[in-house]
C-alpha cells in the first residue's frame, strides 16, 4: 500500500464517488473551454473550476474529436490547457488583448 503523506494529493469528495471523467467542449472559432456542447458565453468555465477539473481528469471535444489534455497550467489570472499538438484553450478570464 502506498503511503500518500509525502505526496501532493487531489481528493474527490463524496459526491464525486462515481465520476470517471468530465467531458468539456471547445469550438474552433475561439480559444475557450465550455461545460456544455452548446458553447455559449454562460458555459465558459472559470479559472479555479478548470484547474480543479484538469487535476482530476477531463476530456475535451473539439470538432467531434475527443482529446485528453497533454498539459494544463495556472497562468495566474486564468487557466490554460493544451490539446492535440498545439491547440491552447483557456478559462473564461482569458483575454487575447
Within a domain: residue 1?
no
Question: How confident is the model over 32-56, as a mean pLDDT?
Answer: 95
Find the helix or strand (DSSP H, E) in which 61 lies: strand 58-62
**pLDDT per residue as tens digits for the range 2-14:** 787 877 777 777 8
DSSP 8-state secondary structure symbol assigned to residue 43 = G
**pLDDT per residue as tens digits for the range 69-83:** 999 999 999 999 999
Task: Let me know: does 78 contact 94? Beta carbons within 8 Å.
Answer: yes
Within a domain: residue 15?
no
pLDDT class for 42, splitting at 50, 70, 90? Answer: very high
pLDDT class for 97, splitting at 50, 70, 90? Answer: low
How far from 8 is each of 50, 78, 91, CA to CA, in Å? 18, 22, 24
**Strand partners of residue 34:** 25, 44
How many domains would you assign to the chain? 1
Within a domain: residue 4?
no
Name the residue range of residue 83's domain.
21-90
Within a domain: residue 96?
no
Percent of the chain with pLDDT strictly greater than 70: 99
Within a domain: residue 8?
no
Within a domain: residue 13?
no
Amino acid at each position: 500500500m502506498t503511503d500518500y503523506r509525502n505526496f501532493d494529493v487531489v481528493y474527490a469528495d463524496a459526491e464525486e464517488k462515481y465520476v470517471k471523467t468530465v467531458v468539456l467542449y471547445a469550438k474552433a472559432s475561439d480559444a475557450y473551454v465550455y461545460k456544455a456542447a452548446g458553447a455559449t458565453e454562460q458555459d465558459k468555465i472559470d479559472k479555479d473550476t478548470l484547474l480543479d477539473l484538469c487535476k482530476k481528469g477531463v476530456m475535451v471535444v473539439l470538432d467531434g474529436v475527443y482529446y485528453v489534455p497533454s498539459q494544463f497550467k495556472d497562468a495566474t489570472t486564468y487557466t490554460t490547457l493544451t490539446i492535440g499538438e498545439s491547440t491552447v484553450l483557456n478559462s473564461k478570464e482569458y483575454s487575447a488583448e
